[in-house]
Amino acid sequence: MHTAIMVKTYPAEINMDRDQLVKCIDACFDCAQACTACADSCLSEQMVTDLRKCIRTNLDCADVCEATTHVLSRHTGYDANISRAVLEACVQACKSCADECENHAAMKHCQVCAEACRGCEQACRQTLAGMAA
């Protein structure tokens, strides 16, 4: 991935730790992909109607993670309030998705997705903690 290179070559000041920012962006990309793939796998399960909430939560989480990567990848005209709000939304989306996928942990794809969500949730929390007030 090119995240680290792009963040490191940004020519102006960034108001947060660049290494943590890279970890968070990469975790969000990874989580969005895992959630999208998990939703697709759920659609192929025999009891797909029992997985509607899981599918919906997967897709919501993927969308929030993608939006978070977009906001965190833009630094010109930075607004900490927007970044903070998006990170908080991502924490909640990832937590909700991981909780739902853990209800279906017998399915390997839900187990993998829950792990990706927990990792993203943690990366977003760490990024929030490192943001200047």
- pLDDT for residue 15: 82
In this structure, what DSSP letter does residue 48 have? G
Q: Confirm if 94 and 35 have CB atoms less than 8 A apart.
A: no
- pLDDT for residue 76: 87
Q: Confirm if 113 and 38 have CB atoms less than 8 A apart.
A: yes
The helix/strand/coil state of 23 is helix
Model pTM? Answer: 0.94
Per-residue pLDDT of the chain (133 residues; tens, 9 = 90+): 799 999 998 988 888 899 999 999 999 999 999 999 999 999 999 999 999 999 999 999 999 999 999 999 998 888 999 999 999 999 999 999 999 999 998 999 999 999 999 999 999 999 999 986 5
Domains of the chain and CATH, by start: 18-130 (1.20.1270.360)
- pLDDT for residue 128: 95
- pLDDT for residue 131: 85
- pLDDT for residue 132: 65
Q: Confirm if 26 and 3 have CB atoms less than 8 A apart.
A: yes
The helix/strand/coil state of 14 is coil
- pLDDT for residue 48: 94
Cβ count within 10 A of residue 18: 12
Cα separation of 37 and 62, whole Å? 10
Number of helices (H) and strands (E) in the chain: give both, helices first. 5, 0
